[in-house]
Amino acid sequence: MSINQPTLPAAIPDWRSAGLRYFAYNFYLRKRFGERIQKVSVDAGFTCPNVDGSKATGGCTFCDNRSFSPSRRVPRLNIGGQIDDGIRRLKTRYKVDRFLAYFQPATNTYGPLEKLRTMFDQALEHPKVVGIAVGTRPDCVPDDVLDLLSEVAGRTYLSVEYGLQTMHDRSLVWMNRAHDHAASVNAIQRSRGRGFEICAHVMLGLPGESHADMLATAREIARLRLDSVKIHNLYAVRNTPLADQVACGEVRLMERDDYVRTVVDFLELIPPECIVERVSGDAPPDYLIGPAWCLDKPGLRMALDAEFTRRDTHQGRRSS
């Protein structure tokens, strides 16, 4: 099957001339909007098909939504209230005045069409919101949902984030994902030409995946010509099957040096026009089991910069 080119602005910013080693999302958003833009997490109260029993139960092996979404750690407000609360928190850390409403926890296209339309409209009514990001699964975007997303993209900036995670079906089975890689390819192909950015989440350090396996996923991301990618390390949080597997020694989490080398190898294979939204993941300290190094984001960024410099390399250097 042919893979169409991604839908990106006509002029892709020259991130290398800015001294960057990869096409960072903050750089892209600043060029696109003319100022810093920050995501504010929004919880629409959805679940997932591998939680509610429609495909599986228990959710993903590594997942506790409270560990990565502030809205799942406090009583949930309405959409506008969540945005206001998130903006207040973000303004204590960043000098920023415009935001993307990020529908983050669970599967945010897994619900009735009119509910989806209403929640997107409510987010766009906020005067500080200039766009939307929607986290979802590739098996939860039927054509009528894609039609709605295309309609939203006609009114505002929209990024749709698919939890691809890996191209290896055996790893998707291990994580209780309840879909295969073919579902990801299908969703990406059906999303082409609809006016929104297509982003994929990828997880490195999955048990049983070799270095070559992880780079095979990088080559698949390159083949699919995605607009953007989010790279995460596998980390364990409390009260999950993965936490139990780590505790008993069944799963060993990736060491930082291995992760740094793998991320640089991964990015060398990604086309230079693919936006890199994230290069690591973490969780609040009171939820995190490990690895502890993922809490030190500045240290990890410095290690990545050092590895890029040591090799004198950059994103896309080995991309075909």
Query: DSSP letters along the chain, please?
Result: ---PPP---SS---TTTTT-SS-BHHHHHHHHHSS-EEEEEE------TTTBSSS-BS--TT--GGGT-GGGGS----HHHHHHHHHHHHHTT----EEEEEE-SS-TT-S-HHHHHHHHHHHHTSTTEEEEEEEE-TTS--HHHHHHHHHHHTTSEEEEEEEEE-S-HHHHHHTT--S-HHHHHHHHHHHTTSSSEEEEEEEE--TT--HHHHHHHHHHHHHHT-SEEEEEE--EETTSHHHHHHHTTSS-PPPHHHHHHHHHHHHHTS-TTSEEEES-----TTTEEE-GGGG-HHHHHHHHHHHHHHHT--TTTT--
Rounded to 10 deg, the angle between the 143-153 and 113-124 helix axes is 20
Q: How far, in Å, CA of 194 to CA of 153, rounded?
A: 8
204: left (phi over 0), alpha (psi -120 to 50) or beta: beta
- For residue 70, pLDDT over 90 is answered with no
pLDDT in tens, 10-55: 456 699 999 999 999 999 999 999 999 999 999 999 999 999 999 9
pLDDT in tens, 130-184: 999 999 999 999 999 999 999 999 999 999 999 999 999 999 999 999 999 999 9
Residue type, 8: L
Q: What is the pLDDT of residue 75?
A: 62
Confidence label for 66 from pLDDT (cuts 50, 70 and 90): low
CB–CB of 179/216 below 8 Å? no
CB–CB of 138/186 below 8 Å? yes
Pairing of strands 197-204, 157-165: parallel
Q: The tokens 């390390």 sit on which residue?
A: 233
- For residue 217, pLDDT over 70 is answered with yes
For 25-311, give the CATH class. Answer: alpha beta
pLDDT in tens, 96-138: 999 999 999 999 999 999 999 999 999 999 999 999 999 999 9
Summary mean pLDDT of the chain: 92
Instruction: Give the mean pLDDT of 243-247.
Output: 96
Q: Domain ranges for the chain, please list them.
A: 25-311
Q: What is the pLDDT of residue 158?
A: 98
Instruction: Tell the burial category of 187 from Cβ atoms under 10 Å away from its Cβ (0-12, 13-18, 19+).
Output: buried
| Tokens of residue 225, six digits | 């010509």
pLDDT in tens, 77-91: 899 999 999 999 999
